[in-house]
Amino acid sequence: MIDTVQALLAALSGIAVGFTLGLVGGGGSILAVPLMVYVVGVKSPHLAIGTSALAVAANALAGLANHARAHNVNWRCGGTYALAGVLGAFAGSTLGKAVDGQKLLFLFALLMLVVAGLMFRGRGDTGVEGVVCNRDNFPKVASFGFGTGTLSGFFGIGGGFLIVPGLIASTSMPIYRAIGTSLVAVSAFGLTTALNYAASGLLDWGIAASFIAGGVLGSVGGTKAAKQLSGSKGTLNTVFASMIVLVALYTLYKSWLAMAA
């Protein structure tokens, strides 16, 4: 059982994660794992990873419903990406459970900085409207899906901050459509990772429930904000990348201290 304060902290953290998922399609787990460890007070990094994976998957489903109503989801591309990624997520999460938790957080932060750099570099790209997934680009979409799924499972994340750049790179769709479409895969990756961790007893159901409740509220506001910003060239990319850098630096600092202790 969790106490009232911890439940409240989990719900508030969930609002932040849900808003982020709705706004940029990714960053949910980038925020969720550090929030679980440093704010909610989950001591075990592996338990935090398993719990956040379930919470992010549920919050991503709420965000997906909001984006679907706004017609921002390319279902064929999202489904292809998700199916390939689920296989990678299972393999990656199995490997991740065998790695020291603090080292996992440190590697996670380094990966965030790489992705942020790529997003800053492509912040001026507008993308191509009306792209479709067919036999011509299926291998490329599936390979990106499998690769990001593996990383998603290994680090215990929904993977949206990897999926959005992956969808843009493999299909050239605009970022606002990639954000909505990414939530198909975020949901699938998160559920796969959560089930794998739950099978090992590495999931706190009470904290997850509070986190999810807050996330549903946050996702509504995030989706509305994304729609307002979608017309500003490069704004969403810059917001996305800046957020990743800030959380990455904090996670690097905290995980380095923990490993040095």
Alpha carbon 255 to chain centroid, angstroms: 20
DSSP 232: S
Please, is 172 exposed, middle or buried when counting C-beta atoms within 10 Å of its C-beta (0-12, 13-18, 19+)? middle
Write out the chain's pLDDT in tens, 261 residues: 568 899 999 999 999 888 877 777 666 667 788 889 889 988 888 898 889 889 888 888 887 888 888 888 999 999 999 999 888 888 888 887 787 777 777 887 887 788 778 777 766 665 667 677 888 888 999 999 998 888 877 876 656 677 888 888 888 888 778 888 988 988 888 888 888 889 999 999 999 999 999 988 888 888 777 777 766 656 766 777 787 788 788 778 877 877 776
Q: What is the pLDDT of residue 13?
A: 92
Question: Residue ranges of the domains in the chain?
Answer: 4-260
In contact, 50 and 198? CB cutoff 8 Å: yes
Angle at 198 between CA 192 and CA 201, to 5 degrees: 155
Q: What is the pLDDT of residue 114?
A: 83
With a CB cutoff of 8 Å and minimum separation 6, the contacts of 31 are: 13, 16, 17, 20, 247
Phi/psi of residue 246, nearest 5 degrees: -60, -50
Q: What is the pLDDT of residue 213?
A: 93
- How far is the C-alpha of 246 from the C-alpha of 227, rounded, in Å? 24
- How far is the C-alpha of 89 from the C-alpha of 159, rounded, in Å? 10
Q: What is the pLDDT of residue 29?
A: 64
Please tell me the pTM assigned to this model. Answer: 0.71
Going by C-alpha positions, the residue among 46, 232, 42, 50 that lies closest to residue 124 is 232
- How far is the C-alpha of 36 from the C-alpha of 41, rounded, in Å? 6
Please, is 170 exposed, middle or buried when counting C-beta atoms within 10 Å of its C-beta (0-12, 13-18, 19+)? buried
Going by C-alpha positions, the residue among 53, 50, 40 that lies closest to residue 12 is 40
- How far is the C-alpha of 160 from the C-alpha of 24, rounded, in Å? 8
Number of Cβ within 10 Å of residue 233's Cβ equals 13
